[in-house]
Chains A and B, each alone.
Chain A
């Protein structure tokens, strides 16, 4: 039997696990946090019109907390695509209230409607998929609106450890991206490990997103403890929709009714 993979019922907050509590006490972690605060400070000196992109995941929540320490009242923006987990909205509101974030949720379209209209998730649909339209509802539209309101600078919670592609991107650009359209983004947590992020949550007692709690209850491995929109085109080959189906069956049925091919990847 695969004892290595035996589903262990973890109890309590992920951030309070012993390995994360110990990590928080390491000088390496504390130095990393101090260095990140310097990076954000330096970035805000160069790009004062900056906002923080906040999905509600562990990385962007830690980043929003850090940025709010460096510059209290910095705009913290959530891109609402219409595909969030139902728990995300209340969680964002709770954290924003607790830490007095200047928080705003921006919605410019409905990504679910675009997925239905595009027809790629329904064998019987006749629609023509336009990735640009879907991307606009998911990210580009809210980003455009946030840029109009708050400026060209953006702090994002990407980390090199998350994927090989992000590792290459962040390493190549030293954590900064200056795009031809005039936007400038910085990933201050680029070199953080997952344990660093949870350790930061542990030190500051940041509330845990209910989606992580549910995934742990379901027995998801640590590699699956990632928060994104409920459905999308990323990471489906790693079982993301399987966890959605097991953990949020009602939401799953609603999506599956309008996007029948989701079932093929669950």
Chain B
């Protein structure tokens, strides 16, 4: 199943996406809230429709794949069952990349757009991670404790003889979380402004611990910044690399031996992508340019 970028570069505009926050958000320290990740989650929810989050979080394609796997006579029996640990990793390699109203960087040769690099499968969405003004942070905690009384009422027969709160699965938690204090988060992107605004409007909260009220968004705006420029989403205003970019794009960016780290280059960012041959059983992080890498002074990108 081949992925085709949904937009030509000529159909796109350089934009700044702004989210007004109620009181900050819990963000990743390296690559905070990639815009393509947020939009992919929204789009995926729309694609899955009613089956989203009901425990059988599979698209029609994936369900058909599983059905075929199970019914194939003499074929490999998969131990994967929806709801069982491990089921997602088995079907992921057959999941299509969710199409977004963004340009892609890395497919320029195939798309006939001449202003970007051609790096084959290691393409990235033309969208940055979040940046914001100031450097204020707050340390908040979330807590979790086993409800003995409720458990007695609901499942007395199934409880173990002793429920320990100091260790094991019922342990009590007091977990810190670093909250970024900002009134606005901003992203740079190249895409279709109207469709981006439409998708963004479906996002009400950003970051971790949304169910606890963190990361509440008051409103979105998409500001048109002019003709499409693929370097626009790759650097923050203060000249740092703004999103995970594969190392093989370094030369195009004008970087000579940049610091390298590992990570994902496309959503979902929380999980190692499948191996180069698409093997979801052997996932591995990609080599990417390290966060904080400064923009070269003289570069065409």
Contacts and interface: CB of A to CB of B under 8 A. Distances in A.
Interface of A: 1-2, 5-7, 123-124, 218-221, 224, 233, 237-239, 242-243, 245-246, 249-250, 253, 257, 263
11 contacts: A1-B181, A2-B139, A7-B178, A124-B86, A219-B139, A238-B173, A239-B174, A242-B176, A246-B29, A246-B178, A257-B272
B28 to A, nearest CB: 8
Given A5-B138, A7-B139, A249 B261 contact: yes
A5 B285 contact: no
Contacts of B181: 1
Contact of A238 (B85, B86, B175, B177): B175
Nearest to A246: B29
B285 A237 contact: no
B108 to A, nearest CB: 29
A237 B29 contact: no
B171 A5 contact: no
Contact of B175 (A123, A219, A221, A239): A239
B158 interface: no
Contacts of B167: 233
Contacts of B263: 253
B165 to A, nearest CB: 9
Given A124-B86, A253-B262, A237 B175 contact: yes
A7 B89 CA distance: 38
B172 interface: yes
A124 B177 CA distance: 28
Given A5-B139, A123-B86, A257-B272, A218 B178 contact: yes
Contacts of B86: 123-124
A129 to B, nearest CB: 12
Given A1-B138, A6-B137, A253-B285, 15 more contacts: A5-B139, A6-B139, A124-B86, A224-B176, A237-B171, A237-B172, A238-B174, A242-B176, A242-B177, A249-B261, A250-B262, A253-B263, A257-B284, A257-B285, A263-B270
Contacts of B85: 123-124
Nearest to A4: B139
Interface residues of B, number: 29
A6 B138 CA distance: 5
Given A237-B174, A246-B29, A257 B138 contact: no
Contacts of A219: 137, 139, 178
B29 A7 contact: no
Nearest to B285: A253
Nearest to B89: A124
B45 interface: no
Contacts of A253: 262-263, 285
Contacts of A250: 261-262
Contacts of B272: 257
A153 B137 CA distance: 47
A1 B137 CA distance: 11
B262 A5 contact: no
5 tightest A-B contacts by CB? A123-B85, A7-B137, A239-B176, A124-B86, A5-B139
A6 B283 CA distance: 38
Interface in B247-299: 261-263, 270, 272, 283-285
A1 to B, nearest CB: 7
B198 interface: no
Max chain A Cβ within 10 angstroms of own Cβ: one of B175, B262, B270? B175
B225 interface: no
A220 to B, nearest CB: 8
B138 A249 contact: no
Given A237-B171, A250-B261, A257-B285, A2 B178 contact: no
A239 B142 CA distance: 10
B235 to A, nearest CB: 21
B140 interface: yes
B64 interface: no
Contacts of A220: 176
B30 interface: yes
Interface in B137-187: 137-140, 167, 171-178, 181
A11 to B, nearest CB: 14
Contacts of A7: 136-139, 178
Contacts of B261: 249-250
B90 to A, nearest CB: 10
Contacts of B178: 7, 218-219, 246
Contacts of B262: 250, 253
Nearest to A7: B137
A42 to B, nearest CB: 34
Nearest to B264: A253
